[in-house]
């Protein structure tokens, strides 16, 4: 470690200055760099796998844990990635980085080769990263919370990819065989305009004062170039990467420990213009935006066999908190200088639209909330939302209906899913919109106006009875405050349905047509919220006590308001009023 002592090798028994949140920089070489020559295995009957004539060299393996200090902002995942970049640049300077979450694993090893092929293509030096869709294990057969998220990963992301990477632009470059410095990311040795960006004299201020790290940057840039087989490309000679790697020495290990200290990033551009960008809970989105804003391209690679798999949120609470995190990051982007409105001229118009959509979608929660309350307002007040059903309104309604049906058909066709799967995606889109998305917007507005941040905590828990059940976690529930609004919407619509039906039945001249219109729209809201209600009930209808409390308070409040305020009478009123003629 930094103090010269050996790492104890466990977090299970923390000690002074050695706990998960307070420890020195740790750099543990688990496997030394392999030899340059192949090492073939021998026949061994004791082994389950015959390794005869198989290269059994194992790759260089190092455990890295950045320094942690009490009261210091470590910038979460983005800070860890930046520390890893610096350490690996000094110790191995590998040409590729594979980024996985802790709960993900490689399901298709050939996908790594597919991703690298994009970067090694004739125009691959314009590709900054290759992204794969998320696939999950352990999802219940009904997928009640739409954890597969097929519409997003198989439709939206493919569409975004077509706009962000600008395939048509790359196609024109292939035809012309000419890469203009105006339309590509900066490289050492480019035009005078780019030399200012890649000026070696500015590297200490940008990357820190480590000479080992600074020396590795031109090497990595040279290795990332294309082959010098085209006169218009400032490439590298063939065979230049076949030289043996430099052996690891003690000074390199010591320097790698230094660059993962807390204070190394001070007065540098790490997290602002270098590496993963700080200031957002969705640092990957912000970092991708910065890359595209500088002229880099990206690829969304969908393999026939899933590339990687991971663990999906297992219950309603975890799913909502995941949605909250994504939406919070989008709101933070909207209120920051990473908003696509402030993008550089390198970013094309359609690319700006993509990133604007990423930043704006949580704000649709306001319209969803109004939409969910309007049917109940109709049933309670007796006044239809549209005063007159004229031809213009009916044409508009027909046009919207046909358009939405067309979108449904295209989404199902492009993603290859059935109608039931598509419907679950739609259900949870509304559930997330009136809960997590709205909470994220309010949280972002509060942070912008007051500078304070609020967090939505989990306070109570209800666990499934059968701990041996494979999907036992599906029935667990931790109460969180942004469940209040969906419960309110369900209760208000249920009460409105009761009021509307009771009033129509008791009326001397019941108007069933008006009632059916209100019931249809209110029921449409409720069936969207069915997975939410099912998640609250858990197993065997064991609803948490707090749900009963909130439901009772809401019912009492609305009942008192209904008694205090007489519904207006009129020709559009549902079934007249409760009073006798």
| Runs of H (alpha helix) within 27-134 | 76-91, 110-119
CA 334, CA 357: separation in Å to the nearest integer?
Answer: 10
CA 278, CA 75: separation in Å to the nearest integer?
Answer: 6
Strand order in the sheet with 135-137: 104-106, 308-311, 135-137
How many beta carbons lie within 10 A of that of residue 23, not counting itself?
A: 21
Contact call for residues 500 and 510 (beta carbons, < 8 A)? no
Give the DSSP letter of residue 245.
Answer: P
The response to whether 249 counts as a known ligand-binding position is no
Instruction: Name 281's Cβ contacts closer than 8 Å, sequence gap at least 6.
Output: 76, 325, 328, 329, 332
**And the tokens for 307?**
């590339």
Contact call for residues 373 and 526 (beta carbons, < 8 A)? no
Category of 28 on φ-ψ map: left (φ > 0), alpha (ψ -120 to 50) or beta? beta
Contact call for residues 149 and 425 (beta carbons, < 8 A)? yes
CA 1, CA 470: separation in Å to the nearest integer?
Answer: 42
The response to whether 76 counts as a known ligand-binding position is yes
The response to whether 20 counts as a known ligand-binding position is no
Q: Given the DSSP bridges, would you call strands 61-65 and 127-131 parallel, antiparallel or unpaired?
A: unpaired
Q: Which residues of 125-138 are buried (b: 16+ CB within 10 A; e: fewer)?
A: bbbbbbbbbbbbee
**And the tokens for 343?**
């993008």
Contact call for residues 492 and 554 (beta carbons, < 8 A)? yes
Give the DSSP letter of residue 156.
Answer: I
Note the residue count of the chain. Answer: 581
55-61 long-range contacts, Cβ below 8 Å, gap at least 24?
58/31, 58/34, 59/31, 59/34, 60/31, 60/32, 60/33, 60/34, 60/91, 60/92, 60/248, 61/29, 61/30, 61/31
**And the tokens for 179?**
């890469």
Q: Which residues are annotated as a binding site?
A: 76-77, 101
Q: Which residues are annotated as a binding site for UDP-alpha-D-glucose?
A: 76
From the annotation, which residues make up the binding site for Mn(2+)?
77, 101
């Amino acid at each position: 470690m930094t103090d010269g002592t050996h790492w104890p090798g466990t977090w299970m028994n923390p000690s002074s200055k050695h706990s998960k949140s307070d420890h020195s920089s740790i750099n543990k070489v688990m496997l030394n760099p392999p030899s340059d020559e192949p090492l073939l295995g021998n026949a061994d009957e004791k082994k389950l796998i015959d390794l005869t004539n198989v290269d059994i060299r194992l790759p260089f393996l190092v455990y890295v844990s950045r320094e942690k200090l009490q009261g210091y902002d470590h910038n979460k995942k983005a800070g860890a990635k930046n520390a890893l970049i610096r350490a690996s640049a000094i110790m191995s300077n590998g040409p590729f980085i594979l980024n996985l979450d802790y709960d993900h694993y490689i399901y298709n090893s050939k996908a790594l080769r597919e991703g690298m092929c994009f970067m090694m293509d004739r125009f691959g030096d314009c590709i900054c990263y290759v992204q794969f869709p998320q696939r999950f294990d352990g999802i219940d057969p009904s997928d009640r919370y739409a954890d597969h998220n097929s519409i997003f990963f198989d439709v939206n992301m493919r569409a975004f990819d077509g706009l962000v990477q600008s395939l048509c632009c790359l196609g024109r470059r292939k035809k012309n065989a000419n890469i203009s410095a105006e339309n590509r990311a900066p490289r050492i040795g480019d035009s005078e305009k780019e030399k200012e960006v890649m000026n070696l004299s500015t590297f200490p201020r940008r990357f820190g004062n480590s000479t080992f790290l600074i020396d590795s940057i031109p090497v990595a840039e040279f290795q990332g170039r294309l082959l010098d087989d085209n006169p218009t490309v400032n490439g590298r000679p063939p065979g230049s990467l076949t030289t043996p790697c430099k052996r690891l020495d003690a000074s390199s290990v010591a320097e790698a420990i230094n660059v993962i200290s807390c204070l190394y990033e001070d007065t540098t551009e790490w997290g602002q213009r270098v590496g993963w960008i700080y200031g957002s809970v969705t640092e990957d989105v912000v970092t991708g935006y910065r890359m595209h804003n500088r002229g880099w391209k990206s690829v969304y690679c969908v393999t026939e066999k899933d590339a990687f798999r991971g663990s999906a949120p297992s219950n309603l609470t975890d799913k909502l908190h995941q949605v909250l995190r994504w939406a919070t990051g989008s709101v933070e982007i909207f209120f920051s200088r990473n908003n696509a409105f402030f993008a550089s001229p390198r970013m094309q118009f359609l690319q700006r639209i993509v990133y604007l959509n990423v930043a704006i979608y949580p704000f649709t929660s306001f319209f969803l909330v109004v939409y969910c309350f309007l049917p109940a307002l109709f049933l309670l007040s007796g006044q239809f939302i549209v005063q007159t059903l004229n031809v213009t309104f009916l044409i508009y309604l027909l046009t919207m209906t046909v358009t939405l049906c067309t979108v449904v058909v295209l989404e199902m066709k492009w993603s290859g899913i059935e109608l039931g799967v598509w419907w679950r995606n739609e259900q949870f889109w509304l559930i997330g919109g009136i809960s997590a998305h709205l909470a994220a917007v309010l949280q972002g507005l509060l942070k912008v106006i007051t500078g304070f941040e609020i967090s939505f905590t989990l306070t109570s828990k209800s666990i499934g009875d059968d701990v041996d059940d494979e999907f036992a976690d599906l029935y667990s529930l931790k109460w969180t405050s942004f469940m209040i609004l969906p419960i309110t919407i369900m209760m208000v619509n249920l009460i409105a349905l009761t009021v509307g039906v009771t009033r129509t039945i008791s009326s001397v001249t019941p108007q069933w047509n008006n009632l059916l219109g209100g019931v249809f729209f209110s029921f449409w809201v409720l069936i969207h919220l069915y997975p939410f209600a099912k998640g609250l009930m858990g197993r065997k209808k064991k609803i948490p006590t707090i749900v009963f409390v909130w439901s009772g308070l809401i019912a009492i409040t609305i009942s008192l308001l209904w008694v205090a305020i007489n519904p207006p009478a009129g020709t559009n009123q549902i079934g007249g009023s409760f009073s006798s003629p």
